[in-house]
Amino acid sequence: MDRVKENIPFILLIIVMALFVFAFIVSETSLFDEEEIHTYTFEEAVSMQISNDTTDLKLVDETTEQANDNDIKNAMNMNNSNDYQFLRLDELSGATVEQLNEELEGKGILEGEGQAFYDAEQNHQINAIYLIAHATLETGHGQSELASGIQVNDTVYYNFFGIGAFDHDAVLEGSSYAEQANWSAPARAIDGGAEFIRKNYINNNQNTLYRMRWNPENPGTHLYATDIAWAEKIAQLMNGHYNALGLEHGELDKDNYIE
Protein backbone atom coordinates (compact mmCIF):
# COMPACT_ATOMS: atom_id res chain seq x y z
CA MET A 1 0.00 0.00 0.00
CA ASP A 2 2.84 2.37 0.87
CA ARG A 3 4.46 1.66 -2.49
CA VAL A 4 1.23 2.52 -4.28
CA LYS A 5 1.01 5.82 -2.40
CA GLU A 6 4.59 6.61 -3.34
CA ASN A 7 3.78 6.04 -7.02
CA ILE A 8 0.65 8.27 -7.09
CA PRO A 9 2.56 11.46 -8.09
CA PHE A 10 4.28 9.53 -10.87
CA ILE A 11 0.97 8.07 -12.10
CA LEU A 12 -0.64 11.52 -12.05
CA LEU A 13 2.29 12.89 -14.03
CA ILE A 14 1.84 10.17 -16.66
CA ILE A 15 -1.87 10.95 -16.92
CA VAL A 16 -1.23 14.68 -17.30
CA MET A 17 1.40 14.05 -19.99
CA ALA A 18 -0.98 11.72 -21.86
CA LEU A 19 -3.73 14.34 -21.80
CA PHE A 20 -1.27 16.96 -23.06
CA VAL A 21 -0.17 14.74 -25.96
CA PHE A 22 -3.81 14.01 -26.87
CA ALA A 23 -4.70 17.71 -26.85
CA PHE A 24 -1.66 18.48 -28.99
CA ILE A 25 -2.63 15.85 -31.59
CA VAL A 26 -6.20 17.19 -31.79
CA SER A 27 -4.87 20.73 -32.17
CA GLU A 28 -2.45 19.76 -34.92
CA THR A 29 -5.14 17.82 -36.77
CA SER A 30 -7.44 20.86 -36.73
CA LEU A 31 -4.67 23.09 -37.99
CA PHE A 32 -3.89 20.64 -40.77
CA ASP A 33 -7.53 20.51 -41.89
CA GLU A 34 -7.78 24.31 -41.95
CA GLU A 35 -4.58 24.67 -43.96
CA GLU A 36 -5.74 21.97 -46.36
CA ILE A 37 -9.01 23.79 -47.05
CA HIS A 38 -7.78 27.39 -47.02
CA THR A 39 -4.81 27.31 -49.34
CA TYR A 40 -4.57 30.79 -50.82
CA THR A 41 -4.73 34.41 -49.83
CA PHE A 42 -7.56 36.43 -51.33
CA GLU A 43 -5.14 38.23 -53.66
CA GLU A 44 -3.68 34.91 -54.83
CA ALA A 45 -7.17 33.54 -55.51
CA VAL A 46 -8.11 36.62 -57.53
CA SER A 47 -4.87 36.37 -59.51
CA MET A 48 -5.51 32.69 -60.27
CA GLN A 49 -9.09 33.41 -61.32
CA ILE A 50 -7.89 36.10 -63.72
CA SER A 51 -4.92 34.18 -65.09
CA ASN A 52 -6.74 30.89 -65.72
CA ASP A 53 -8.48 32.29 -68.81
CA THR A 54 -11.95 31.60 -67.44
CA THR A 55 -14.92 33.35 -69.03
CA ASP A 56 -16.02 36.08 -66.63
CA LEU A 57 -18.89 38.21 -67.89
CA LYS A 58 -20.94 41.11 -66.52
CA LEU A 59 -24.29 42.52 -67.54
CA VAL A 60 -24.24 46.10 -68.83
CA ASP A 61 -27.38 47.72 -70.28
CA GLU A 62 -29.02 44.34 -70.95
CA THR A 63 -25.96 43.04 -72.80
CA THR A 64 -23.02 40.99 -71.56
CA GLU A 65 -19.41 42.04 -71.80
CA GLN A 66 -16.10 40.78 -70.48
CA ALA A 67 -15.53 41.68 -66.84
CA ASN A 68 -12.27 43.46 -66.08
CA ASP A 69 -9.86 42.52 -63.30
CA ASN A 70 -11.38 44.96 -60.83
CA ASP A 71 -14.91 43.70 -61.57
CA ILE A 72 -13.78 40.15 -60.78
CA LYS A 73 -12.03 41.18 -57.58
CA ASN A 74 -15.10 43.05 -56.36
CA ALA A 75 -17.37 40.10 -57.14
CA MET A 76 -15.07 37.72 -55.23
CA ASN A 77 -14.89 40.02 -52.20
CA MET A 78 -16.93 38.30 -49.50
CA ASN A 79 -17.51 41.59 -47.70
CA ASN A 80 -19.66 42.70 -50.66
CA SER A 81 -21.76 39.54 -50.58
CA ASN A 82 -25.22 38.59 -49.37
CA ASP A 83 -24.92 36.03 -46.56
CA TYR A 84 -26.93 33.53 -48.59
CA GLN A 85 -23.89 33.08 -50.83
CA PHE A 86 -22.47 31.11 -47.89
CA LEU A 87 -25.51 29.03 -46.93
CA ARG A 88 -24.79 25.29 -46.94
CA LEU A 89 -26.83 24.09 -49.91
CA ASP A 90 -26.79 20.50 -48.65
CA GLU A 91 -28.91 21.48 -45.63
CA LEU A 92 -32.65 21.13 -46.20
CA SER A 93 -34.87 24.21 -46.31
CA GLY A 94 -37.68 22.98 -44.07
CA ALA A 95 -40.26 24.38 -46.53
CA THR A 96 -43.47 22.49 -47.28
CA VAL A 97 -44.81 21.78 -50.76
CA GLU A 98 -47.47 24.44 -50.19
CA GLN A 99 -44.84 27.03 -49.23
CA LEU A 100 -42.73 26.19 -52.26
CA ASN A 101 -45.77 26.62 -54.52
CA GLU A 102 -46.40 30.03 -52.96
CA GLU A 103 -42.92 31.13 -54.04
CA LEU A 104 -43.45 29.71 -57.54
CA GLU A 105 -46.58 31.74 -58.29
CA GLY A 106 -46.13 33.80 -61.45
CA LYS A 107 -42.97 31.89 -62.41
CA GLY A 108 -44.15 30.64 -65.81
CA ILE A 109 -43.28 27.04 -66.52
CA LEU A 110 -42.10 26.62 -62.91
CA GLU A 111 -45.46 27.55 -61.36
CA GLY A 112 -47.12 24.67 -59.52
CA GLU A 113 -43.95 22.55 -59.44
CA GLY A 114 -43.56 22.75 -55.66
CA GLN A 115 -43.86 18.98 -55.30
CA ALA A 116 -41.08 18.39 -57.83
CA PHE A 117 -38.75 20.79 -56.02
CA TYR A 118 -39.65 19.22 -52.67
CA ASP A 119 -38.96 15.73 -54.04
CA ALA A 120 -35.65 16.85 -55.53
CA GLU A 121 -34.65 18.23 -52.14
CA GLN A 122 -35.43 14.91 -50.47
CA ASN A 123 -33.92 12.73 -53.21
CA HIS A 124 -30.63 14.60 -53.50
CA GLN A 125 -30.37 16.42 -50.15
CA ILE A 126 -30.19 19.88 -51.73
CA ASN A 127 -32.01 22.93 -50.39
CA ALA A 128 -35.27 23.35 -52.33
CA ILE A 129 -35.35 27.13 -51.92
CA TYR A 130 -31.90 27.29 -53.50
CA LEU A 131 -33.11 25.10 -56.36
CA ILE A 132 -36.08 27.41 -56.94
CA ALA A 133 -33.91 30.54 -56.84
CA HIS A 134 -31.36 28.97 -59.21
CA ALA A 135 -34.04 27.83 -61.64
CA THR A 136 -35.77 31.23 -61.45
CA LEU A 137 -32.56 33.02 -62.43
CA GLU A 138 -31.59 30.62 -65.21
CA THR A 139 -35.06 30.61 -66.76
CA GLY A 140 -35.83 34.32 -66.53
CA HIS A 141 -38.57 33.63 -63.96
CA GLY A 142 -39.79 30.64 -65.95
CA GLN A 143 -40.20 32.56 -69.20
CA SER A 144 -37.07 31.76 -71.25
CA GLU A 145 -37.17 29.87 -74.53
CA LEU A 146 -35.07 27.00 -73.18
CA ALA A 147 -37.13 26.73 -69.99
CA SER A 148 -40.44 26.71 -71.85
CA GLY A 149 -39.38 23.58 -73.67
CA ILE A 150 -37.59 22.85 -76.92
CA GLN A 151 -39.12 20.30 -79.25
CA VAL A 152 -36.68 17.77 -80.66
CA ASN A 153 -38.37 15.45 -83.15
CA ASP A 154 -41.65 14.58 -81.39
CA THR A 155 -40.59 15.28 -77.80
CA VAL A 156 -40.32 18.51 -75.79
CA TYR A 157 -37.31 18.79 -73.46
CA TYR A 158 -36.73 21.16 -70.54
CA ASN A 159 -33.62 22.58 -68.91
CA PHE A 160 -34.11 24.77 -65.83
CA PHE A 161 -30.57 25.15 -64.52
CA GLY A 162 -28.63 26.19 -67.61
CA ILE A 163 -26.78 22.87 -67.64
CA GLY A 164 -24.76 22.49 -70.82
CA ALA A 165 -26.15 25.81 -72.08
CA PHE A 166 -23.00 27.67 -73.03
CA ASP A 167 -23.16 31.37 -73.79
CA HIS A 168 -22.50 31.23 -77.53
CA ASP A 169 -25.58 29.03 -78.24
CA ALA A 170 -27.40 28.42 -74.98
CA VAL A 171 -30.69 27.21 -76.45
CA LEU A 172 -29.19 24.67 -78.87
CA GLU A 173 -26.66 23.25 -76.43
CA GLY A 174 -28.98 23.35 -73.43
CA SER A 175 -31.73 21.53 -75.29
CA SER A 176 -29.23 19.00 -76.62
CA TYR A 177 -28.12 18.25 -73.06
CA ALA A 178 -31.74 17.96 -71.93
CA GLU A 179 -32.45 15.53 -74.75
CA GLN A 180 -29.49 13.34 -73.80
CA ALA A 181 -30.62 13.39 -70.16
CA ASN A 182 -34.23 12.67 -71.21
CA TRP A 183 -35.65 15.67 -69.35
CA SER A 184 -38.95 15.35 -71.18
CA ALA A 185 -41.12 16.80 -68.40
CA PRO A 186 -40.63 19.71 -65.98
CA ALA A 187 -40.39 17.37 -62.97
CA ARG A 188 -37.67 15.36 -64.71
CA ALA A 189 -35.71 18.52 -65.46
CA ILE A 190 -35.94 19.62 -61.82
CA ASP A 191 -34.86 16.26 -60.41
CA GLY A 192 -32.18 15.78 -63.06
CA GLY A 193 -30.76 19.24 -62.50
CA ALA A 194 -30.59 18.65 -58.75
CA GLU A 195 -28.86 15.32 -59.34
CA PHE A 196 -26.30 16.99 -61.65
CA ILE A 197 -25.54 19.71 -59.09
CA ARG A 198 -25.22 17.16 -56.28
CA LYS A 199 -22.80 14.91 -58.19
CA ASN A 200 -20.69 17.61 -59.81
CA TYR A 201 -20.60 20.38 -57.21
CA ILE A 202 -21.98 19.49 -53.78
CA ASN A 203 -19.96 16.26 -53.71
CA ASN A 204 -16.90 18.25 -54.80
CA ASN A 205 -17.08 20.39 -51.63
CA GLN A 206 -18.59 23.22 -53.67
CA ASN A 207 -21.59 23.27 -51.38
CA THR A 208 -22.26 27.02 -51.26
CA LEU A 209 -23.04 29.48 -54.04
CA TYR A 210 -19.70 31.19 -53.45
CA ARG A 211 -17.83 27.92 -53.84
CA MET A 212 -19.79 26.98 -56.95
CA ARG A 213 -18.87 30.28 -58.62
CA TRP A 214 -15.31 30.89 -57.31
CA ASN A 215 -14.04 27.54 -55.96
CA PRO A 216 -11.65 28.89 -53.29
CA GLU A 217 -9.85 25.54 -53.00
CA ASN A 218 -8.87 25.69 -56.70
CA PRO A 219 -9.57 29.23 -57.97
CA GLY A 220 -10.33 29.63 -61.65
CA THR A 221 -11.32 25.97 -62.13
CA HIS A 222 -14.58 23.99 -62.17
CA LEU A 223 -16.92 26.99 -61.99
CA TYR A 224 -20.68 26.76 -62.51
CA ALA A 225 -21.37 30.04 -64.28
CA THR A 226 -19.74 32.79 -66.34
CA ASP A 227 -21.72 35.73 -64.89
CA ILE A 228 -19.62 37.25 -62.10
CA ALA A 229 -22.83 38.25 -60.29
CA TRP A 230 -24.39 34.77 -60.59
CA ALA A 231 -23.93 33.76 -56.95
CA GLU A 232 -25.05 37.14 -55.62
CA LYS A 233 -28.20 37.14 -57.78
CA ILE A 234 -29.28 33.71 -56.54
CA ALA A 235 -28.38 34.66 -52.96
CA GLN A 236 -30.66 37.70 -53.14
CA LEU A 237 -33.51 35.58 -54.51
CA MET A 238 -33.02 33.06 -51.70
CA ASN A 239 -32.99 35.88 -49.15
CA GLY A 240 -36.35 37.06 -50.47
CA HIS A 241 -37.88 33.57 -50.35
CA TYR A 242 -36.71 32.93 -46.79
CA ASN A 243 -38.07 36.27 -45.63
CA ALA A 244 -41.40 35.77 -47.39
CA LEU A 245 -41.87 32.36 -45.80
CA GLY A 246 -40.56 33.37 -42.38
CA LEU A 247 -38.02 30.55 -42.36
CA GLU A 248 -34.68 30.53 -40.56
CA HIS A 249 -31.71 29.69 -42.73
CA GLY A 250 -29.26 26.96 -41.85
CA GLU A 251 -25.51 27.01 -41.36
CA LEU A 252 -23.43 29.69 -43.07
CA ASP A 253 -20.07 28.33 -44.21
CA LYS A 254 -17.95 31.36 -45.03
CA ASP A 255 -14.57 30.73 -46.57
CA ASN A 256 -11.57 32.40 -44.98
CA TYR A 257 -8.61 33.01 -47.22
CA ILE A 258 -5.16 32.95 -45.66
CA GLU A 259 -4.23 36.31 -44.13
Residues 173-190 have a mean pLDDT of 86
Minimal CA–CA distance to 160: which of 168, 143, 172? 143
pLDDT at 169: 47
Q: Residues 226, 220: contact at Cβ < 8 Å? A: no
- Looking at every residue in the chain, the average pLDDT score rounds to 85
Residues 167-191 have a mean pLDDT of 77
Write down how long the chain is. 259
Q: Residues 179, 200: contact at Cβ < 8 Å? A: no
Pairing of strands 57-60, 150-152: unpaired
Helix (H) or strand (E) holding 253: none
pLDDT at 152: 84
Classify residue 140 by its DSSP letter: T
pLDDT in tens, 21-74: 444 443 444 333 333 456 899 999 999 999 998 889 998 887 889 999 999 999
Domain coordinates of the chain in residue numbers? 42-245
Fold of 42-245: Lysozyme (1.10.530)
Pairing of strands 63-66, 155-157: unpaired
Q: What is the pTM of this model?
A: 0.83
Q: How far apart are CA 134 and CA 125, in angstroms?
A: 16
pLDDT band for position 12 (50/70/90)?
low
